[in-house]
Amino acid sequence: MAYQVILPAAGQGKRMGAGKNKLLLELNGIPVLIHTLKVFEEDELCEGMILAVHPQDFEEFNVLLKKYNINKVTGLVPGGKERQYSIYNALKTVTNGSIILVHDAARPFIRKEQIHRLIETAQKTGAAIIGVPAKDTMKKVQVGTVVETVERSSLWAVQTPQAFRISLLLEAYQKAELEQFVGTDDSSLVERLGHPVAIVEGDYDNIKLTTPEDLYFAEAILKKRQKK
């Protein structure tokens, strides 16, 4: 089943503290952004990519797309103040197709096999996300004090891509806009419609490059994959 993918790439990278868009940092001499886009460029099921980008990065991103022969990008849209607004700007430009994926450009280690499993599930359920069972014990904390330990057996660390029937995601975004709800992922907007969201088990190495330590993990993941 063919799909389109929205890639939010307009963050400020505050937690990375790189002093520039963290997606322009390089792994093995290639920008993080390109590592991510290449996965979709090389996926025969991917019909097109829409990137949400800081207008100040448009020119540099276009130069990189040309340099690395990324030809499936159908549009760059301006990012918004929140990740959700960036994605909505892109979603509004989608005019055809049935399945849409949203994938953080800061997650360069997604694999085609995982994407295809996600698509198959989303085709059946209308909404599917990828994640891994939580490894750490999670607790609710208020003012430096633990108020609750959350039972771990039902907890998952959710990642991206997240896949949806386009009409469902649009309905979810319209409701969120109307009610001024801002979530930390797209699934939470669809859940608010009361629509079930399936989860597919992914890999622990599908990390989001968020803080400087993640760059060390990224180097190790790349090394491990080059050995295969």
Ligand X SMILES: C[C@](O)(CO)[C@H](O)COP(=O)(O)O
Contact set with ligand X (CB under 6 A)? 83, 104, 158-160, 184-185, 208
Based on the shown chain and the rule CB under 6 A, indicate whether residue 60 belongs to the binding site for ligand CTP.
no
Task: State the nearest-atom distance from the C-beta of 140 to ligand X, in Å.
Answer: 17
> Residue for token digits 């949806």?
164
Based on the shown chain and the rule CB under 6 A, indicate whether residue 105 belongs to the binding site for ligand CTP.
yes
Residues 74, 49: contact at Cβ < 8 Å? Answer: yes
Helices and strands per DSSP (H, E), number in the chain? 7, 11
DSSP category for residue 25: S
160 binding partner (options ligand CTP, ligand X, none; Cβ < 5 to 8 Å by kind): ligand X
Shorter beta-carbon distance to ligand CTP: residue 90 or 172:
90
Based on the shown chain and the rule CB under 6 A, indicate whether residue 227 belongs to the binding site for ligand CTP.
no
Q: How crowded is residue 5: how many other Cβ atoms within 10 Å of its Cβ?
A: 26
C-alpha torsion sign, points 158, 160, 165, 170: positive
Q: Which of 144, 141, 166 is nearest to 90 (CA)?
A: 166
Based on the shown chain and the rule CB under 6 A, indicate whether residue 92 belongs to the binding site for ligand CTP.
no
Based on the shown chain and the rule CB under 6 A, indicate whether residue 31 belongs to the binding site for ligand CTP.
no
Among 98, 125, 188, 210, binds ligand CTP (CB under 6 A): 210
Contacts of 14 (CB under 8 A, 6+ apart): none
- One-letter amino acid of 169: L
80 binding partner (options ligand CTP, ligand X, none; Cβ < 5 to 8 Å by kind): ligand CTP
In angstroms, the CA 214 to CA 216 distance is 5
Based on the shown chain and the rule CB under 6 A, indicate whether residue 49 belongs to the binding site for ligand CTP.
no
Q: Which of 10, 105, 101, 29 is nearest to 67 (CA)?
A: 29
Based on the shown chain and the rule CB under 6 A, indicate whether residue 10 belongs to the binding site for ligand CTP.
yes
Among 25, 101, 106, 122, binds ligand CTP (CB under 6 A): 106
Distance of CA 37 to the CA centre of its chain: 11
Among 3, 4, 6, 9, binds ligand CTP (CB under 6 A): 9
Task: State the nearest-atom distance from the C-beta of 106 to ligand X, in Å.
Answer: 7
Interacting residue ranges for ligand CTP, rule: CB under 6 A:
8-16, 52, 79-83, 86, 104-106, 208, 210
